[in-house]
Chains A and B, each alone.
Chain A
Amino acid sequence: MVVLELNEVTMRFGGLTAVNRVNLLLNENEILGLIGPNGAGKTTIFNMITGIYTPSAGKILFQGKEINGLKSYLLTRKGIARTFQNIRLFGELTVLDNVKIGGHVRSKGNLFGALTRLPAMAEERRIAEKARSFLAFMGLAAKEQELARNLSYGEQRRLEIARAMASDPTLLLLDEPAAGMNPQETMALMEMIRRIRDKGLTILLVEHDMKLVMGICDRVAVLDYGEKIADGTPKEIQSNQRVIAAYLGEAG
């Protein structure tokens, strides 16, 4: 089943075309890597899928339904969650609270609940329990009472993933999850991403670490100057002449 489909999606900022008629398919339970030089339009694509930008042209379909221009919070409700390239945690809140907020769309509770307290208590306990399970999953259980901003860089990246997972997404978008991690941390992260996929999630990730991309992605799509220049298995991509010229060639 196709989870996400980009159909001739274009994004223009004034005179600049950041993304030009990109087509992309994501099948259920697949890990798709999106790579390309800086400024190729990867994050712009993420921002369109998650409702921060509305595409100038083209269609984005999630589970067969068009989602162009829907607000971020509605997309999260539908089952799309993301992390951010330049980490955006709730810095002054605890690690646990960060993940609890991640579960916002999968929990109930309004002013009335907050004031009457009793009916909310069982729900609160459930929220906390779930949040702890995601923290444990990402190896952050011991840190739950720390303030998010006091975590190390690698821990912050993992917390972002835990927070995104708390929204019970169908599709998880990871924007450079390994950025700033050392090789050991990256190895551990790869294992975590695989385990997330084994839970049944579909994953789209942007990453510069080729070891990670080639190691865990089922398929890789390559962007250059806003256009998709290749799409295939990691093996195919590694031997694709256009990709080598545009991207890998530069890298060495």
Chain B
Amino acid sequence: MINAYYLQVLTIMGINVIMALGLNLITGVTGQLSLGHAAFMSIGAYAAAILTLNYGAPFWLALLFGALVAAFFGVLLGFPTLRLSGDYLAIATMGFGEITRVILLNLDIAGRALGISGIPHSSNFSTVWILAVLSIVTMVFVGNSRLGRAFLAIREDEIAAEAMGVNSTYYKIQAFALGSFFAGLGGGLYAHYITYLNPSDFGFMKSIEILNMVVLGGMGSIPGTILGAGVLTAVPEVLRAVREYRMLFYGGLLVFMMIFKPNGLLGGVHFSTIRNWLIRIFKGSAGSPAGGSRGGTGAGEDAKTRVQEG
């Protein structure tokens, strides 16, 4: 049997997976560095909590509402800032994160500095992981679609993407909205799991923590992001030194990864890659690895079958 402590760590891990996947879509897939992911998480968390506490809304509705409000703010921030080049966006999202925190600190309905407590404990291991799996599936579907290719094209070369007819601002806003949606969803789950909220839980450092998950796992890779979220949720629990010097560790990790392994642990690895590895392992080297799995599984599979370097 899993004891309560492990269950709690695994639940938080699932929430982190959802939020990190959202950031991966924005930063890893579309190539837009967002430093305000925690702000969208907080918006989702507060919106959901306020809806259940003040309006007695059912849990599922509150979750959806929180995620949609976060997505709405994603669009709101996206409109003006996404026309800008990448580094300005990073700063603007960081500023947005700061503004959100300050506003939450001064907002009566959000309980000001005290935050909100007494939120019903409606999230649990299964709700979190059901939604996490749904999020993963969503991300895989998006990644293998025309939409996902437009995101990738923008990351690879924005001028060429525009020359191919991709309206980059429009797609960047979509990526932002979608990514923020998942941050808000994670926030809503978090609120109903931890049962209290405080603006200080959603500062810049929280955004950096989520960014670290994506960077460690491999920007743009869904299995990588899941791995990154898993590792960075578990390691501070296991290693006391990491827990105590968490931020020092996160800062150093970002620099280390960029210098020595900018693609992360699983950069460029997709589920299809893993599946091909498995096919190769089980069938021996008989089947051709890249093309062998394609027949009959539908056109959507094509994009998944990416040949890997090395």
**Which residues of A are in contact with B by a Cβ distance under 8 Å?**
50-52, 71-73, 76-77, 81-82, 84, 88-94, 96-97, 100-102, 104-105, 107-111, 113-115, 117, 120-128, 145-147, 150, 163-164, 167
**8 Å CB contacts to A: which residues of B143-181?**
144-150, 152-153, 156-157, 159-168, 174, 178
**Interface 1/0s, chain B 115-145, versus A by CB < 8 A?**
0000000000000000000000010011011
Binary contact readout B6-27 vs A (1 if CB under 8 angstroms, 0 otherwise):
0000000000000000000000
Q: Is B302 interfacial (CB-CB < 8 Å)?
A: yes
Are B302 and A114 touching (Cβ within 8 A)?
no
Q: Does B284 contact A (CB under 8 A)?
A: no
Inter-subunit contact B300/A104 (CB<8 Å): no
Contacts of B147 in A (CB 8 A): 109-111, 113-114
Q: Which chain A positions have C-beta within 8 A of B166?
A: 73, 101, 104
CB distance from B51 to the nearest CB of A (A): 24
Residue in chain B with minimal CB distance to A106? B165
**A104: contacting residue among B144, B146, B268, CB under 8 A:** B146
Proximity bits, B287-305, A CB within 8 Å = 1, else 0: 0001100000011101101
In this assembly, does B244 line the interface, its C-beta being within 8 Å of a C-beta of chain A?
Answer: no
A97 near B149: Cβ-Cβ < 8 Å:
yes
Given contacts A90-B152, A121-B299, contact A114 B145 (CB under 8 A): yes
Determine whether the beta carbon of A96 is less than 8 Å from that of B138. Answer: no
Among A107, A115, A147, A164, contact of B309 (Cβ-Cβ < 8 Å)? A147
**Are B156 and A102 neighbours in the complex by a CB distance under 8 Å?**
no
In the complex with contacts A104-B166, A124-B299, A97-B160 CB distance below 8 A: no
Contact: A120 with B165, CB < 8 Å? no
| Cβ-defined contact, A128 with B307, below 8 A | no
Please report the C-alpha to C-alpha distance between residue A120 and residue B148 in the assembled complex, in whole angstroms: 13
Contact partners of B162 in chain A: CB under 8 A: 51, 71-73, 76
Question: CA separation between A248 and B167, bound complex, in Å?
Answer: 41
Query: Which residue on chain B has the smallest CB distance to residue A166?
Result: B164
Cβ contacts under 8 Å, A73 to chain B:
162-168
Q: Are A76 and B161 neighbours in the complex by a CB distance under 8 Å?
A: no
Expressed in whole angstroms, the minimum distance between the Cβ of B29 and any Cβ of chain A is: 11
Q: CA A128 – CA B294 in complex, angstroms? A: 13
Closest to A107 in B: B146
Chain B positions within 8 Å of A, measured between CB atoms, are 138, 141-142, 144-150, 152-153, 156-157, 159-168, 174, 178, 268, 290-291, 298-300, 302-303, 305-307, 309
Bound-state CA distance A62–B53 (Å) is 59
Tell whether, in the assembled complex, residue B141 and residue A114 are in contact, meaning their CB atoms are under 8 Å apart: yes
A90 vs B159: C-alpha distance in the bound complex, in angstroms?
11
Question: Among the listed B156, B165, B307, which residue makes an inter-chain contact with A77, where contact means beta carbons less than 8 Å apart?
Answer: B165
Q: Who on chain B is nearest to A94 by CB?
A: B306
Complex Cα spacing A105 to B150, Å: 11
Report A-chain residues with C-beta under 8 Å of the C-beta of B145: 109, 113-114, 120, 124
Q: Which residue of B lies closest to A115 (CB)?
A: B141
Q: In the bound complex, what is the Cα–Cα distance between A14 and B214 (angstroms)? A: 43
Complex interface: chain B residues within 8 A of A150 (CB): 309
CB of A149, distance to nearest CB on chain B (Å): 9
Complex partner residue of A89 from B141, B160, B165, B302, CB under 8 angstroms: B160
Assess whether B148 is in contact with A101, with CB atoms less than 8 Å apart. Answer: no
Most buried by B among A97, A113, A146, A147: A97
| 19 A-B pairs (CB sep. < 8 Å) | A72-B162, A89-B156, A90-B160, A91-B156, A91-B157, A92-B156, A96-B303, A97-B149, A104-B149, A104-B153, A107-B146, A110-B147, A114-B142, A114-B144, A114-B145, A114-B148, A124-B303, A125-B298, A128-B302
Name the residue in B149, B163, B290 with the highest tally of chain A Cβ atoms < 10 Å from its Cβ: B163
Query: Which A residues are CB-close (under 8 A) to B153?
Result: 90, 93, 101, 104
CB-nearest residue of chain B to A145: B307
Q: A84, B165: Cβ atoms under 8 Å?
A: no
The residue on A at minimum CB distance from B159 is A88
Give the nearest-CB partner of B147 in chain A: A114
Please indicate the chain B residues that have their CB under 8 angstroms from the CB of A115 in the complex: 138, 141-142
Q: A167 vs B166: C-alpha distance in the bound complex, in angstroms?
A: 11
